[in-house]
Chain A
Amino acid sequence: MSVTKDDVKKVARLSRIAVDDSRLEGLAGELNGILNWIEQLNEVDIDGVEPMTSVVEASLPMREDKVTDGDKVDDVLANAPKSEDGFFIVPRSVE
């Protein structure tokens, strides 16, 4: 498996990181370097091994169904780049 410039483009897009075309080559090289090094995992016999989902041996704790939070619109919007009338304001998300 080798990462191409197109793969980098796709991954950058999925990551929502603007990447200049001039950087694609370099990034592909870096990612390939890392992924090639990672390839050594293929040496490990993982037949019948369960993937780890949690190192913690405990069961999922559950909360009671009580309203204990909210009513803090000022805190919610305190760091907003833009807000008005209690709403976050963001660039238009439909045409």
Chain B
Amino acid sequence: MSASDTQTRTPYRLAGATGDWEIVMGLEVHAQVASNAKLFSGAATAYGSDPNTNVSLVDAAMPGMLPVINRKCVEQAVKTGLGLKAEINKYSRFDRKNYFYPDLPQGYQISQFAHPIVGEGEIEVDVEPAHGGEAYSITVGIERLHLEQDAGKSIHDMSPTETYVDLNRSGVALMEIVSKPHIRSPLEAAAYVRKLRSIVVALGTCDGDMEKGNLRADVNVSVCRPGDYEKFRETGDFSHLGTRCEIKNMNSFRFIQQAAEYEAMRQIEIIEGGGEVDQETRLFDADKGETRSMRSKEDAHDYRYFPDPDLLPLEFDQAFIDEIKANLPELPDEKRARFMADYSLKAYDAGVLSADAEKADFFEAVAEGRDPKLAANWVSQELFGYLNKEGLELADSPVSADQLGGLIDLISDQTISGKIAKQVFAKMIEGGGDPAEIVEREGLKQVTDTGAIEKVVDEIMAANPEQVEQVQAQKAEGHAKPKALGWFVGQVMRASGGKANPQAVNEILKQKLGL
């Protein structure tokens, strides 16, 4: 599905004093590689350890220490590249990016500058406007993915005059995934990161834990006039776009959106005020909801990239790639296609259920051997709706897949009606446990005993002769399904406390009313 972005999306426009503006964004996402040990040392990547305990002498850059690459990290990068449908470079190389900072022990970061391990790719992103508007799909080009080392952590709040440095993170492998400037609104930026996250999580190449900073985004924002972006796409000439600023290190979807919105407006005000946007790195201050410049002007950076002479070029053959390809798990897009085909789900439902491996697995467990539409409805509408409302993760769900499946079974075998099922579900959320037990305990079992239903029907017909007449009149006018029949169904259901089997009620009513 390669929906052409410009056709289906309504352009995101910002009104300035001098006319409308559009926004152009490219993202650099840093995703921590899921691995036991660091990229170039045998120290653990574990989170939350005591300071400097997951540090080898290599990570601390002791004199004479040398890097040796972790094969798993290379495989994870290739795997991610395959997941992004990207070109895998059989020859890549590590470069040093030189700068001084206390949490950068070597005085350089080992990264890949000139020859990244993964080249161009693309991903499909579904965008669902928050305040109405139609959902649409865009294709975002991936520029590259490269491997690099994470830095350590500087802690500034333990002393007013000094900084405390913990190198536990120093040397942990990161994948930097760079998109092309194909993102056209703050919402799209967040949707892109969401999709990217779902891909790496599905692949098992990154745990996607944004709170721990294991996935964070640098957002490049520029603004231009309507029409300029199209010129850029036609010619590849960046001069059609405005000067960009990079907002560093955001680890929440909300921040990404807020920062991009703020930054675009800031740039528009500068330009409209007759000024020029400085190309610079900025930081998002979540408390103030604004971005600010990160570095003092005098400290111009010149990273002096050059190939790391401690490492040889990273080379592998097609067999290495094929092996990884053969063991690739199902990707969110493939899953969605399968959900649409196997469970006859609509694109949207299939998308929601396949976006996250955990949710997809949950759905499949519920749907197994059951009516898929019913399962999809109960999982995405009822359960996810509830979790969303309460701000809960699926892992915290009070209802297991087995229990939800059991509830659906009760509907399917007509033990309860859909309406009663909602009551049962509410009890399950309260910790009621097994749905069959709840039905039993609360006496919610559907009444299918026709004798009992007939008795109720007779009573209601007797008490409401004028309604009976109305049915007869409507029948005479040629209505196959007289409206007044619905009234009787409602009455009977109410009288039975909702427990009467609606089908049986219908049939008995029809028969007694001569329909």
Contacts and interface: CB of A to CB of B under 8 A. Distances in A.
Contact, chains A and B (beta carbon distance below 8 A)? yes
A43 interface: no
A93 B101 contact: yes
A63 B71 contact: yes
Contacts of B102: 88, 90-91, 93
Contact of B68 (A56, A61, A85, A88): A61
A94 B55 contact: no
B484 interface: no
Interface residues of B, number: 51
Contacts, number: 134
A89 B154 CA distance: 10
Contacts of A53: 93, 307, 312-313
Contact of A68 (B42, B54, B156, B164): B42
Chain B at the A interface: SS class: loop
A61 B56 CA distance: 19
A60 B313 contact: yes
Nearest to A94: B156
Contact of B71 (A54, A65, A82, A89): A65
Contacts of A58: 312
B312 A70 contact: no
A75 to B, nearest CB: 7
A90 B158 CA distance: 12
Contact of B37 (A59, A60, A68, A90): A68
Contacts of A88: 52, 102, 164-167
B43 A87 contact: no
Contact of A89 (B55, B58, B165): B165
A65 B36 contact: yes
Q: How large is the interface on A (under 10, 10 to 19, 20 to 34, 35 or more residues)?
A: 35 or more
Interface in B261-320: 302, 304, 307, 309, 311-315
B72 interface: yes
Contacts of B167: 76, 88
Contacts of B495: none
Interface string B307-350: 10101111100000000000000000000000000000000000
B57 A89 contact: no
A89 B93 CA distance: 34
Given A68-B37, A70-B43, A89 B164 contact: yes
B39 to A, nearest CB: 10
Q: Residue among A70, A73, A76, A88 with the most chain B CB within 10 A?
A: A70
Given A73-B55, A88-B102, A67 B166 contact: no
Contacts of A82: 162
A71 B51 CA distance: 10
B43 to A, nearest CB: 4
Contacts of A75: 57
Given A67-B36, A76-B57, A62 B165 contact: no
Interface in B156-209: 156, 158-167
Contact of B69 (A60, A69, A92, A93): A60
A77 B159 CA distance: 19
A13 to B, nearest CB: 8
Given A76-B60, A89-B164, 8 more contacts: A14-B302, A54-B313, A62-B74, A63-B71, A67-B44, A68-B37, A70-B42, A91-B163
Interface of A: 14, 16, 53-54, 56, 58-73, 75-77, 82, 84-94
29 contacts: A14-B304, A53-B93, A54-B309, A59-B315, A60-B314, A63-B69, A65-B70, A66-B36, A67-B36, A67-B44, A69-B57, A70-B42, A70-B43, A70-B53, A70-B55, A71-B54, A73-B55, A76-B57, A76-B60, A86-B52, A87-B155, A87-B164, A88-B164, A88-B167, A92-B156, A92-B161, A92-B162, A93-B101, A94-B156
Please provide the 7 A-B residue pairs with the shortest distance between their CB atoms, ordered closest to farther.
A65-B72, A68-B42, A69-B42, A70-B43, A69-B56, A62-B71, A87-B164
